[in-house]
Structures are given as C-alpha cells and as structure tokens.
Amino acid sequence: MRMVFRWFGQGNDHVSLRHIKHIPGVEGIVWALHDVPAGEEWPMDKILEVKKQADEHGLNIDVVESVNVHEDIKLGLPTRAQYIENYKRTIEKLAKVGVKVICYNFMPVFDWTRTELYKELEDGSTALFYEKAKVENMDPIELVGKIADNPKYTMPGWEPERLKHLSNLFEAYKNVTEEDLWNHLRYFLEEIIPVAENNDIKMAIHPDDPPWSIFGLPRIITNKENIRRLLKLVDSPYNGVTLCSGSLGANPKNNIAEMVREFADRIPFAHIRNVRVYENGDFIETSHRTSDGTVDIYNIVKAYHENHFTGYARPDHGRHIWDEKCRPGYGLYDRALGIMYLWGIWDSLERAKQEGFSCSR
C-alpha cells in the first residue's frame, strides 16, 4: 500500500506540503489543476509547476484527482469529440511528469452531494452530513429561482456559476437513461483507454456519491454488479476503479471488503473513509475507526493486505477537529489520524504474517 494525501495547491489550501511531509508513511500528493475548467486541455507549464513544488518536499505526484469529464461527454453530444481529444492530450502530458493514476467520475451535473458541511457529532467535532429526505423532497429547478433571495435553499457544491446553467443541464438530461449513460461511458473509455495504455496511466473511476440516483439523474457506479459491468466495458488493466469505502458505504448493502477481494487487480487507487448510516437513510462521515461508523474499515484494510495491494491509498474525508478552520471534509488533523489508524491495522497484519499468526475476524 502506497499512502498519498489530497492537496489542493498553494494558495488554495491551508495544508502545506511541509505539513504533508510530516505524516509518517506518506510518499506523495493527490492533486489537480483546479482552475482549469472541465473539458480543457491542461497547460504543461502548470503541470510542471506542481511537480516542482512537490519535488522540493520529496513527494511524488503519481495520482491526479481529478481530470474532470465534460458534461457533453456524459450526454453523448457531438461536441464530445473535441473534449475527448483534450482529455487524451492531458493524459499524454501527465505521463511525461510520471503520473500513474487518474481518478475521475461520471456523475451527471453534481459531484458528491451533502446537505450540511459542519454537522456536529457527539464529541463536538463536525463532519459532512447527508439528509436523505431533504434531497428526495427537493426540486432543484424550482429552487434556482429562490436561491438568490433566500440563501438557506443552497446546498454544498451549488456554486453561483453552476446554478446559472442548472436549468439547462437538467433539461439536457431529461431523457437520458442509465443505459444511455452506460453507452456514453463506454464510448469515452473506448477512446481514452488505448491512450492510457500507451502512456502507462491507469484510469480509475470514482463511485457515485451517494451511490443512488438524486434529483432524477441517472447514476451507474453504485454497487458491485455495476463495477463488474464497468470493468468489462473495456477489459483492460488500465480501466480500473477508485474504490471509495465512504461513497459505496453509504448504502449498507454494499460489502466493500468483498469488492476489494473481487476487484483487487483493478483497483489502482483506494479511498478509505468511514460513514455512519442511520435507519432513515441519512449518513454522516466519522473518524476512520471502525467502531465509529457503519463501514468495517478493519476488514477492508485486511482485504487489501490479503491481496498484496501495492496501489495508492489515501484517507478520504475526515472530521473537523481541534478548532481547525478548513475545507469541508479536508482537515489536516483528522486525516492524519486516519492515516495512523490505517497504518496501525496494516502493520499489525504484517507482524502477524511474519510471526505466523492469523488476524481472522
């Protein structure tokens, strides 16, 4: 397991590369050019600047998260051709600086969705929270007109720039089915996987978060069966998945450890985080410790260890603790604690293996 840490760039994050270097066992950053709009080719000078900054701290830049997919590709529009060409050129550029994995998603309109950014937990820390009924009873198109006058209607990720185009996007997706989205994803993969193979970069799709349809939009990377289907769309070791225990774990029917064992050779990148799922379908993110949430983090790490996982892993979202002012879900302190918990499990499994014991559960 190769531990990496999400970094949003100088001037765009309170976490510095020096901070990241202090965390035991972290060898690289997970990064992106966040100021480049989806669909545009990444400029080489900006890529080289990130490499220079990371090199100064002895950190690799092997994992990019994300090279975002333009909506026209997801919609299957004729204009997707140029955006796919831009994506190919970006893959080629990233290969030149040593990138090995590109994480991306194929979620229509919205990326991850939450209803509160700082919901308080019992211990006084705060975390990202999803209230299922609120999302199910919300008509986002009706709300667009209300938001300007009443900010209480906004939700995380509803940036003013996105809201300006929300009505048009929903209209464009009105007749797009799950099967349509599968076909558009297949087309995208058939175009880019040969380029990824030629440049030794593994593409790793991120599951939908949460793993079900929201606002009537199709979502397809939601469970074991659909991941199995994804991997068959283009049967190449360069067509893989970013297995996110938090995204998939929001549905208690998803057994993440089983997925690790089945798809181990197609997981170049792992997101490891915990969530606590309530009976009504709400969920909140918690510390990485298994007993704090619904997701069996111990068994997940054990599954990776049993399968001799040598891919990249990062602690995913964490709580906001010790009065840290930070990007929601991306505090330094709790993610660093999460890393030490993950290493603790891994090291204990390694020791048991060396001494001939079994850490069965």
Catalytic residue list contains 271: yes
Task: Name, in order, each residue with C-beta under 8 angstroms of 295's C-beta and a sequence gap of 6 or more.
Answer: 245, 246, 249, 256, 273, 274, 275
Whether 316 sits among the annotated catalytic residues: the reply is yes
Is residue 62 a part of any domain in this protein?
Answer: yes
d(CA 271, CA 299): 14
Tokens at 166, concatenated: 């929300």
pLDDT tens for each residue of 158-203: 555 566 677 788 889 999 999 999 999 999 999 999 999 999 999 9
- Residue 234: pLDDT above 60? yes
* 298: CB partners within 8 A, 6+ apart: 290, 345, 361
Q: Looking at the domain assignment, is residue 38 inside a domain?
A: yes
Confidence of residue 359 (pLDDT cuts 50, 70, 90): low
Q: Is 360 among the domain residues?
A: no
How many separate domains does the chain show? 1
Residue 159 sits in a domain whose CATH number is 3.20.20.150
Does residue 359 lie in a domain region?
Answer: no
Beta-carbon contacts of 72 under 8 Å, excluding residues fewer than 6 positions away, are 39, 79, 80, 83
Host domain of residue 243 = 2-354
Partners of 133 in the β-ladder: none
* Domain presence at residue 343: yes
**Residue of 83, 317, 333, 334 marked catalytic:** 317
In-domain check, residue 266: yes
In a domain, 163, yes or no: yes
How far is Cα 138 from Cα 174, in angstroms, rounded to an integer?
A: 16
Is residue 47's pLDDT more than 90? yes
- In the set 330, 333, 334, 341, the catalytic residue is 330
Rounded to whole angstroms, the maximal C-alpha distance in the chain is: 65
**Annotation marks residue 14 as catalytic:** no
Q: What is the pTM of this model?
A: 0.93
Active site residue: 316, 320, 333, 341, which one? 316
Which residue among 70, 184, 271, 288 is the active-site one? 271
Q: Is 244 a catalytic residue?
A: yes
Separation in Å, CA 115 to CA 29, 135, 189, 247, 297: 28, 8, 32, 15, 24
Closest-CA residue to 103 (of 257, 302, 242, 196): 242
Is residue 293 in some structural domain?
yes
Residue whose token pair is 């790793």:
204
Reduced 3-state DSSP string for 303-319: HHHHCCCCCEEEECCCC
Task: Tell me the pLDDT tens digit for each residue of 57-115.
Answer: 999 999 999 999 999 999 999 999 999 999 999 999 999 999 999 999 999 988 888 98
Instruction: With beta carbons less than 8 A apart as the criterion, state whether 130 and 250 touch.
Output: yes
Question: How distant, in Å, are the alpha carbons of 109, 180, 190, 215, 217 from that of 173?
Answer: 9, 10, 22, 11, 7
Predicted confidence band at 319 (pLDDT cuts at 50, 70, 90)? very high
The whole-angstrom separation of Cα 216 and Cα 141 is: 12
Question: 271-318, pLDDT tens digit by residue?
Answer: 999 999 999 999 999 999 999 999 999 999 999 999 999 999 999 999
Tokens 């220079």 locate to 52
Q: pLDDT class for 157, splitting at 50, 70, 90?
A: low
173, 244, 320, 341: the catalytic one is 244
